[in-house]
Amino acid sequence: MWFLVKKDDQLILRREDESPVLVNGILPKSNWVESDGERDVSDSSTEPTEPRTRTSAHEMNLHLDQFLEDNHLGVYDVHIENLVAPDNCRATRHVDPHHVGFLADSFAETKMGQLVVLQGMVLDRDVDPATLHQLGAGKVECLGGNHTRQALQTLYHEGPWKTDSVKVNVFRELTREAALSLGYQHNVVLHERKKAVFFLDKVRMMRHLRPEETMSAAQVKTWKDSLILVFKAKDRRKLQQRWAHHLLMAQLPDEIWAKVLRSTQLIDVNERFFKQMMKLSQACIPKCLSVLEESGPKAFNVKVKEFLAVNELRSGQPKLMSLLC
């Protein structure tokens, strides 16, 4: 049986009669592992310790799945007005008003009732989930299906939606990793009527899990272990291979990230859009983003190529002999 305990302002995921497995959803150093044999040597303590149990990425995901199963209260009817938006640190993406409108129109036209079971977390552990169909019985944070929640609430307030409650998979309090994993898997599998989780949404989720804005090498490893749980990666190497550009952007300073968001408000970007820019030194990136914000994608690409041509590259990038095409 898994349960959460609070110790020194931290939520600890613990199995009965066992030592902690996750601290705030992150594995302790004693449980870190790499499938390629990498070992953590950052702890230089010479004090005698008990033999360490090493946990693979697969086992980490099994622990998370078991944690979700043990904290799943069941599928319940929840009053529409008891549903609330997820906290920003647990949101897989920002709400798109256009998609909310599309869903509301679609639901109003079909009149088939609820098509998707939402994913929610009760904010008060003393609430009886069987009473959540009653207005004011308790708040349920909508981790998966937030666009659907807002569309249904819009219809409910305007009159076309006559049903007071919706079906929700209700969970107890979850760690941040578990909440993001639940919401991400819901959106990836169901796409909320084909509304995909975009590149910047995934980067934003990764940034929510950073322990600090500037991370040490050990903190980066811990952070990547958390991302393995959210994105169901096999190990750190696979995570790096699949999400390399996401990881780079997720480690940008907050000031530059804010500039990324401002410069992309009116355009849709994918993983490839910033690929060449992320080869540049950190001093060049804000200049490129300023061009994007002021003059658009075409001028942005020209500026990036100008910097690449004169080898204004971040550390670790090979010097270029000629302009990339």
Question: What's the residue count for the chain?
Answer: 325
Q: Mean pLDDT in each 10-residue stretch from start to end of the chain (325 residues)?
A: 43 43 38 34 32 58 86 94 92 82 77 72 92 95 90 84 86 92 80 63 90 90 90 87 91 94 87 91 94 94 94 73 40
Grouping H, G, I as helix, E, B as strand and the rest as coil, residue 7 is strand
The full set of domain ranges for the chain reads 1-42+51-71+198-241, 72-173, 252-325
Q: Give the separation between CA 138 and CA 216, rounded to whole angstroms.
A: 40
Grouping H, G, I as helix, E, B as strand and the rest as coil, residue 110 is helix
Which CATH code for domain 72-173?
3.90.1530
- pLDDT computed for residue 317 by the predictor: 67
Q: Give the separation between CA 128 and CA 73, rounded to whole angstroms.
A: 10
Would you tell me how many other CB atoms lie within 10 Å of the CB of residue 52? 13
Q: Give the separation between CA 258 and CA 35, rounded to whole angstroms.
A: 35
- pLDDT computed for residue 108 by the predictor: 73
Q: In angstroms, what CA-CA distances link 141 with 11, 146, 149, 289?
A: 18, 9, 10, 35
Q: Which helix (H) or strand (E) holds 98?
A: helix 97-110
- pLDDT computed for residue 111 by the predictor: 58
- pLDDT computed for residue 156 by the predictor: 86
Which residues are CB-contacts of 246 (< 8 A; sequence separation ≥ 6)?
199, 202, 203, 206, 271
Q: Which helix (H) or strand (E) holds 56?
A: none
Grouping H, G, I as helix, E, B as strand and the rest as coil, residue 215 is coil
